[in-house]
Structures are given as C-alpha cells and as structure tokens.
Amino acid sequence: MTNSSGENSTCSLSQLAPVEAVLFDVDGTLCDSDPLHHYAFREMLQEIGFNGGVPIDEEFFIKNIAGRHNEDIASILFPDDHERGIKFCDDKEAVFRRLAKEQLKPVNGLYKLTKWIEDRGLKRAAVTNAPKPNAELMISTLGLSDFFHTVVVGDECEHAKPFPDPYLKALEILKVSKDHTFVFEDSVSGIKAGVAAGMPVVGLTTGNPAALLMEAKPAFLIKDYEDPKLWAALEELDRIGGVTKGAA
C-alpha cells in the first residue's frame, strides 16, 4: 500500500522478520556532516575561481556532490583534468576532517536507535563512500567505534555506491542475508545502492529533499531517528517477534 508520494504508508519492515542486521551509511546518516562538506567545497572552489568565483549553492551541492564518491566528484568538477580533481578532493577531505573534529554532531535520536539495536543483539556495519580516514574519524568522534562490527568503504569495492557492491560486501562480512537486513541512508546514491542490493532502505531527509530521495525508492522516509514512523516500524518488528533479544 502506498500513498500519493509513492511511500509505503504503513512503513513496515515486518517482511524482514527475523531481523539479523542493520547497515548504516555515515555522512548525513550517522551525523549531519553535509553542511561541513558543503562549506569546505564552497570555500575551496571559490578560492580557485570555480564557476567564475560565484560560490556553489545548496542545489549544486545536492545535484553534483552529496553522496557521491570522490572519483565521480573529481570528474564532475574538473572534467578536463581528473588528476587535479582528485588532488583537490584529497585536500578538501583534510579540511573536512579538521572541521569535523570540532563541529560533528550525531543525527537526532541516533543513540536511542543504537541502543535498540544493541539490546537486540543485531549485527551492524557502516557502509560509506567516504574515504577511510573520514569514516574512521566520524565514527570515532561519535563514539561508535565499538558499535560497528565492520566498516566498508567504497574504495575497497570494485564499484562504490550507487552500485550495490559495498552493501553486498557488508552482508558477506557479517554473514547475514539481505532478506533479514535493512539499511539507513540519506542520499539518492546510497538509497539506490541499498535497493540494488535487495534490501529495504529507510531514507533520512537530513540533507536532501524528500521528493528527490523518493525517486530512489526507499521503503519510507524519516526526518531523524526520533521520527514516530521509524519507531512504529520497529515496535511492529518487536511485536511480531521479528527480532531476537540478546541474539549476539
């Protein structure tokens, strides 16, 4: 059953029963990092006179940068000089890490959700297109280094998101089935990857417009981890015996 936006109106995850694992993207999903990425790109691109010196706006950032792998971003920003694009992106990541150490904040309700997952002994992985140093810094800054059983980065797979490879690799490492696993994502690229890997994806509207995310076919969208829609779905899983407490 879907509503007018195409979203699953019951927000059900019950077909996954019993749930074995939960997979998370990192940027924009665990933490509200997109504003820091946007700031770093905007300032650095303006410094080199990109777009005639006019700062990139949020629309440009969402369309061309958010959720993408740096290889793709380099090709978009520097189509005639990929090597320069990669160097630029590497330099930008160093700026981002400095900002993140000081300013990174968890998405609202994150620790309530991680406690729910831990209490039920579910397996969990972080699956990201971010460079490994970024992913490790963000996860550590959020105090989640011990929470995740593994971290999969796009660079370590044959194809990064929007291809399903990173999510398929996470399933393989955790030794769980796609039929008993769901995903949290905040970008079109990420949602497409999770869906292509055969899993329902809960989309977060932390940085991208709902209408844009719906095009990637998430199971449903939430504002953050306090969203009643999410907790209704999780309570339904508990009610039907869809999770086994203390399984791990």
Model pLDDT, residue 114: 98
Model pLDDT, residue 245: 56
Are 113 and 119 in contact by the 8 Å Cβ rule? The answer is no
Distance, in Å, from the CA atom of 13 to the CA atom of 51, rounded to the nearest integer, reads: 44
Model pLDDT, residue 12: 84
- What pairs with residue 203 in β-bridges? 185, 221
Model pLDDT, residue 124: 98
Q: Which CATH architecture has domain 14-32+105-239?
A: 3-Layer(aba) Sandwich (3.40)
Catalytic residues: 25, 27
Distance, in Å, from the CA atom of 80 to the CA atom of 98, rounded to the nearest integer, reads: 29
Amino acid (one-letter) located at 126:
A
What residue spans define the domains of the chain? 14-32+105-239, 34-103
State the 10-residue block means of pLDDT for the chain, 248 residues long: 44 91 97 94 97 95 92 96 97 96 96 98 97 96 98 96 98 98 97 98 95 97 98 94 59
Model pLDDT, residue 11: 77
Model pLDDT, residue 8: 44
Model pLDDT, residue 244: 59
Q: Whole-model pTM?
A: 0.89
pLDDT digits (tens, 9 = 90+) for 72-113: 999 999 999 999 999 999 999 999 999 999 999 999 999 999
Model pLDDT, residue 10: 56
